[in-house]
Amino acid sequence: MIQIIKDDFIRYCTYFKIKPTIISFIKMYLLNSCFHSVVLHRIKSSNKTLYYILRLCTGRGQSCLYILTKKVGKGFMVHHGFATIINAEEIGNNCLIYQQVTIGMKGIYKPVIGDNVTITCGEKY
């Protein structure tokens, strides 16, 4: 889990042209609601106790970003996650998702998203 969060963080740093340090990680976690939501999603998958402690201490993240996919590859990034629902069967490595995206339906249709995919604003799958 730690390595995958680190890979996600490095992807965010590369995108925003920020040097990856522990200070920049803390700043990004506290100030970037999409990164915050991605980190909480990663932690929730492996340690529910830590997830609830972090959620209690730092909040829920972006309230309009819902990540329901259990298997998400490394380097996952959501940029401006407003009004975004992600419910895919699986997401590959280095996936970038922009705002107002809806992926999948509850129990009916859950697409598989491959590696190195960018899903732009307003897409519906």
pLDDT digits (tens, 9 = 90+) for 20-65: 999 999 999 888 888 988 888 888 888 888 878 877 777 655 567 8
- The rounded distance, in Å, linking the Cα atoms of 119 and 37 is 18
The answer to the question of residue 124 being in a domain is no
> What are phi and psi for residue 32, nearest 5 degrees?
-105, 105
The answer to the question of residue 26 being in a domain is yes
The answer to the question of residue 52 being in a domain is yes
E strand or H helix at 119: strand 118-119
The answer to the question of residue 76 being in a domain is yes
The answer to the question of residue 86 being in a domain is yes
The answer to the question of residue 125 being in a domain is no
If one counts the domains in the chain, the total is 1
The answer to the question of residue 104 being in a domain is yes
Range of the domain at 12: 2-119
Q: Which two tokens stand for residue 83?
A: 């009004």
**DSSP code at position 32:** -
Do residues 73 and 115 make contact, with C-beta atoms less than 8 angstroms apart? yes
Task: Give pTM, 2 decimals.
Answer: 0.83
